[in-house]
Amino acid sequence: MESSTDSFFREAVLRICSSLDIDKALESCLDYLKNFIPADSINLSVYLQDVQMLQFVAVAGDTEEKPNTNAISTPAIDWEAPENQQPELPDLHVVNHPENEPEIVKILQQLNIGSDFSIMVMRLSLDGNYIGEVAVKSSGTGRYTDRHGRLFVQLRDPLAIALANALKHREVVRLNEVLADDSRYFQQELRTRKGEEIVGANFGLSGVMHQVRQVAQLDNPVLLLGETGCGKGIIADTIHKLSNRSRGPMIIVNCGAIPGSLLESELFGHEKGAFTGAERQKRGRFERGQGGTVFLDEIGELPLQFQAKLLHVLQHREIERVGGQETVSLDIRIIAATNRDLAGMVRSGDFREDLWYRLNVFPVMVPPLRQRKEDIPALLHYFLQRKAVELKLPFRPKLPAGHLDRLMAHDWPGNVRELENFVERALIQSTGEELDISSVTGVSSGTDTALPEKAVDRNQPFPSLDAVCAAHIQQALTRTGGKISGPDGAAELLEIHPNTLRQRMDNLGIAYKSRTRKG
């Protein structure tokens, strides 16, 4: 087919610019080139300056020998060698007999491709900078002439611009996906954390707040200890807000709520195709927290095999996504929390000792509500106001006169969370201006009867704390028939880990059921 040079250039450029999808554009360009140049396939590669290698960006044509577009190979041409460049065909290297060129043979061996073909490779530059290469290949040797080379060289600048635009377009698409992903995640976080504040900061939690102010501006790990429901999550959020990372994200990870099989993917992220269902690259929680704080709640629930990977994150501040080889550097602060006895878990082998020492740099003990009952009036007022708004009540029920003492006398084993749930339940049950507090105190809101107090005989010896604990554990063992772990075991009844219970039994000299039988 005959055509003028101008017509060839115009039609080829129209096909190169026919789509933002570089694969489709290259396929269209190849279909046109076949009318003038022997071409079974064409591939476009970008030059990675850091490693001085080429990475395939798009490939069109033969699918049997189509290289992986994520593959990286060494550049096929030593462009500095003058013998590889013809004066009339600048930046073009024609190979009609690959077996005669050692560098080409080396590349062919790396790509596992035979030598029965001809190829033209053209260097691509923008603003004087080498950005990549384009290669057109045809089966058989001796296929290309100077005329073919002159036609191909005309497309050097359009293909260079197309390569640069394709890379920019892919980066914009990637950043849009990241932005949309972050938007969905942080909108959910805002919904779940809306309205949280520290109540009791100047009273029962004053000591905790002093520690918070001490450590907030630093960047070391913080370990929050305390019973379930005492407010460790709000303390972690306060540390983040008072830190230099307050403008960064606060990522919350409930370690006990993520299945072990998904833990690595959820925290580290994964690459596309890493496993069945991985249809796109996904960033993990650690990567989402760049420039901010990652809060690892219930860290005592982490599987032992994953604890070593978390230790690596703390020591080296880097991760690798599942299925990937690229190392991702992290700029995050770790705050961990647990209601479990980590020191006891270390002794029993359920928690890594090196991870324990790495986390326990600055421990903060959040006291249970029964040890800071002076906060109960403020907490009641706060929850009454907030829950009434959430429930959209037309009235604001008040606590019956004299009933605050009954609430103060309650131990609140569920801590602040139990008090919050009680207020919500009482508001739902209330039909008038007074709260129904019978669900907690056992006394109806219409009576002034006080809770009975146990008489104390001051002449009787007062039992030690160990004696009281031992008696309480014995009662639990009696009720469970000596069973310690598992469903309906003493550990479940006492709401502690079985290993922790065994450790306390050993310290208090309480015999196991099996030991009693042997005796």
| C-alpha dist (Å) from residue 398 to 26, 76, 382, 395 | 74, 82, 12, 10
Task: Give the model confidence (pLDDT) of 256-306 as tens digits.
Answer: 888 888 888 889 988 888 888 777 788 888 988 999 999 999 999 999 889
| Three-state DSSP class for residue 377 | helix
70 DSSP 8-state letter = T
Q: Is residue 203 over pLDDT 90? A: no
Q: Is residue 407 over pLDDT 90? A: no
Say if residue 361 is in the same domain as residue 419: no
Instruction: Compare 348 and 200 and report the one with higher pLDDT.
Output: 348
| Three-state DSSP class for residue 449 | coil
Report the pLDDT value the prediction gives residue 182, as an integer from 0 to 100: 64
Q: Is residue 449 over pLDDT 50? A: no
| C-alpha dist (Å) from residue 497 to 70, 104, 472 | 48, 65, 16
Domain boundary among 344, 365, 386: 365
User: Averaged over 79-101, what is the pLDDT?
Assistant: 65
pLDDT tier at 466 (50, 70, 90 boundaries)?
confident
Say if residue 14 is in the same domain as residue 153: yes
Report the pLDDT value the prediction gives residue 451, as an integer from 0 to 100: 39
By the 8 A CB rule, do 56 and 68 touch?
A: yes
Q: How far apart are CA 211 and CA 193, in angstroms?
A: 23
Say if residue 248 is in the same domain as residue 136: no
Report the pLDDT value the prediction gives residue 313, as an integer from 0 to 100: 92
At 46, list the tokens: 């970008």
**How many C-beta atoms lie closer than 10 Å to residue 502's C-beta?**
18
Task: Give the model confidence (pLDDT) of 162-190 as tens digits.
Answer: 888 888 877 777 777 667 666 655 555 55
* Structural domain for 426, as ranges: 369-441
Q: Is residue 251 over pLDDT 70? A: yes
Report the pLDDT value the prediction gives residue 113, as an integer from 0 to 100: 67
User: Averaged over 233-255, what is the pLDDT?
Assistant: 90
Say if residue 471 is in the same domain as residue 356: no
pLDDT tier at 446 (50, 70, 90 boundaries)?
very low
Q: How far apart are CA 233 and CA 210, in angstroms?
A: 17
Q: How far apart are CA 196 and CA 234, in angstroms?
A: 7
398 DSSP 8-state letter = B
Dihedral (CA of 309, 312, 317, 321) sign: negative
Range with lowest mean pLDDT among 2-6, 14-18, 267-271: 2-6
Dihedral (CA of 59, 138, 119, 127) sign: negative
CATH code of the domain in which 131 resides? 3.30.450.40
CATH code of the domain in which 228 resides? 3.40.50.300
Cβ neighbours of residue 315 under 8 Å, at least 6 residues apart? Answer: 358
Q: Is residue 445 over pLDDT 60? A: no
Say if residue 238 is in the same domain as residue 153: no
| C-alpha dist (Å) from residue 138 to 31, 142, 200 | 13, 10, 78
User: Averaged over 120-148, what is the pLDDT?
Assistant: 87
pLDDT tier at 338 (50, 70, 90 boundaries)?
very high
Domain membership flag for residue 269: yes
Q: Is residue 515 over pLDDT 70? A: no
Domain membership flag for residue 487: yes
Say if residue 85 is in the same domain as residue 207: no
Q: Is residue 335 over pLDDT 90? A: yes
Say if residue 15 is in the same domain as residue 138: yes
Say if residue 12 is in the same domain as residue 126: yes
pLDDT tier at 444 (50, 70, 90 boundaries)?
very low
The count of structural domains within the chain is: 4
